[in-house]
């Protein structure tokens, strides 16, 4: 599922998005007994994962290799307590 607005990665993280990585196991179209894997990664919102599920729907509609299984992980890269506005900086030698 493509992004509808061009936002930077930092803007997405500040809006609560985290990095989602999924590994798709699928059967080869011509050899159904052979499994192959595909890695997908994008910024997504937990717990609904609209981009991940949008990609799964795209796969089921457009890709010939039927899905066997999907495993994924999600990590917020910026937590609310980790971001702060720095107004000044002091250096001591």
**What are the boundaries of each domain within the chain?**
9-80
pLDDT for res 2? 56
Q: Quote the pTM value.
A: 0.75
pLDDT at residue 43 greater than cutoff 70: yes
**21 or 81, greater pLDDT:** 21
Confidence of residue 69 (pLDDT cuts 50, 70, 90): very high
pLDDT of 4 above 90: no
Confirm if 22 and 40 have CB atoms less than 8 A apart: yes
């Amino acid at each position: 599922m493509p992004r509808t607005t061009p936002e930077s990665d930092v803007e997405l993280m500040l809006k609560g998005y985290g990095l989602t990585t999924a590994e798709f196991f699928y059967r080869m179209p011509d050899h159904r007994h052979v499994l192959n894997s595909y890695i997908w990664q994008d910024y997504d919102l937990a717990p609904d994962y609209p981009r991940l599920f949008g990609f799964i729907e795209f796969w089921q509609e457009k890709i010939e290799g039927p899905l066997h299984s999907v495993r994924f992980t999600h990590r917020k890269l910026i937590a609310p307590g980790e971001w702060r506005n720095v107004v000044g900086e002091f250096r001591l030698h």
